[in-house]
A = this chain, B = another copy of it.
Amino acid sequence: MALTDRSHAEALDALDPLSAYRTRFVIDDPDLIYLDSNSLGRLPVATEARLARTVRQEWGDALVRSWDQWLDLPRRVGDRIARTVLGAEPGEVVVADSTTVNFYKLVIAALDARPDRRVIITDVDNFPTDRYVLEGVAAARGATVRWLEADVVAGPQLVDVVPLLGDDVALVTFSHVAYRSGARADMAAITAAAHEVGALALWDLSHSAGSVPVSLGQSNVDLAIGCTYKYLNGGPGSPAWLFVRRSLQGGLEQPIWGWFGQRDQFTMGPAYQAEGDIRAFLSGTPSVLALAAIDEGVALVEEAGITAVAEKGRALTDYAIALYDTWLADLGFLLGTPRDPERRGAHISIRRADADVLCTALIGVGVVPDFRRPDAIRLGLAPLTTRFVDVWQGLATLRELAK
């Protein structure tokens, strides 16, 4: 049985310990080959029921009385994300606001914690919203972004970061897994190097939380943010999480002072006094429906276990790269993702100049990838919902279209 036989993929699926999890998601169209779970994760079956209950019973029937249980949702869901996919402690994570807003809060908190330093380091291929936030904050606060021109496939490397470091650096911030290449940075090593010069490290885990093993604790990470609508299956535009290492809480101040960050919120006192814990990083009223959906999405990852999830992510990307080598490498494509499984996430990028045309053609025949400018077909292989036959079918289809 050759690697390129469909039966090989079927055999891999038969051996997959997580294969049953696919039934825990709503899949009304069994013929759809969905390879874009890292843009929007699939809908868990339990989420549909949970949302119906939250809407009808908690909102419709109990009404404002439900706030007794809703009030702590940002922390409760945060704690679940912390233990399930972040290797963080209870009380270090909250869920609320968008990735963009959370990133903004932590960038300013970090800059204000290093008032005599005005340099922020990031890379030119970081996710746009991160780059835009940094530009905006730098302009407002008289800071400078020192841009790393990282290798477009390998992403930010310690050896390239170190020469940029110095005692003028307040903050070092990268994506843990790069949104386009899927390159996974050495979070612990880069964080240690940042600490070496007295800087703080802020990581965007949007593409790694729920796809690869993470220990924010062991990696000694200071600050992190990430979205919940990819591998955590929180639904379209679901709010983001935010992590602040416990030892830093109390010493950092975020800029958007609101009633959800206020100590004794309902005394509605005359002066803002931030909560003494992670709630100090909240601002306004969080979306309850979205939080309920995230809770269910993360519960599935928790049940499967991040170790098994990450192993399958590695196996799926291994398999996709093997098919790429056999089928696509000689058709003018480039692999846009590191080959070392320790250095990538659960998505791969396949590059060719006509990637946008190919993506449109793929969608036309029921294979959904993502196009990322300028030349990448991005395949997100969410471990809980992607089968090996999906990878086979997706790449076989691409091969046919690309010939």
Which A residues form the contact surface with B (CB < 8 A)?
Answer: 26, 28-29, 32, 34, 36, 39-40, 42-43, 47-48, 51-52, 55-56, 58-61, 63-67, 70, 97-101, 104, 124, 127-129, 131-133, 135-137, 140, 227, 229, 235-240, 255-262, 265-272, 283-291, 293, 363, 368, 370, 372-373
By a CB distance below 8 angstroms, the chain B residues around A290 are 237, 287, 289-290
- Name the contact of A257 in the complex, choosing from B66, B133, B259, B283 (C-beta under 8 A): B133
Q: Are A287 and B238 in contact (CB under 8 A)?
A: yes
A70 vs B237: C-alpha distance in the bound complex, in angstroms?
10
By a CB distance below 8 angstroms, the chain B residues around A67 are 39-40, 236
A229 vs B64: C-alpha distance in the bound complex, in angstroms?
11
Q: Are B239 and A272 in contact (CB under 8 A)?
A: no
Q: Are A56 and B43 in contact (CB under 8 A)?
A: yes
Q: Which of A26, A127, A370 has the most CB of B within 10 A?
A: A26
Q: Which of A70, A237, A288 has the most CB of B within 10 A?
A: A237
A51 vs B48: C-alpha distance in the bound complex, in angstroms?
10
Q: Are A101 and B59 in contact (CB under 8 A)?
A: no
- Name the contact of A289 in the complex, choosing from B58, B227, B235, B269 (C-beta under 8 A): B235
By a CB distance below 8 angstroms, the chain B residues around A39 are 64, 67
Given A29-B61, A101-B283, 19 additional A-B pairs, CB 8 A: A32-B63, A48-B56, A51-B55, A52-B52, A98-B283, A98-B285, A100-B259, A100-B283, A100-B285, A104-B255, A104-B258, A128-B265, A129-B260, A131-B270, A135-B271, A136-B257, A236-B287, A236-B288, A290-B290
Q: Are A132 and B56 in contact (CB under 8 A)?
A: no
Q: Are B289 and A236 in contact (CB under 8 A)?
A: yes
Q: Are B288 and A26 in contact (CB under 8 A)?
A: no
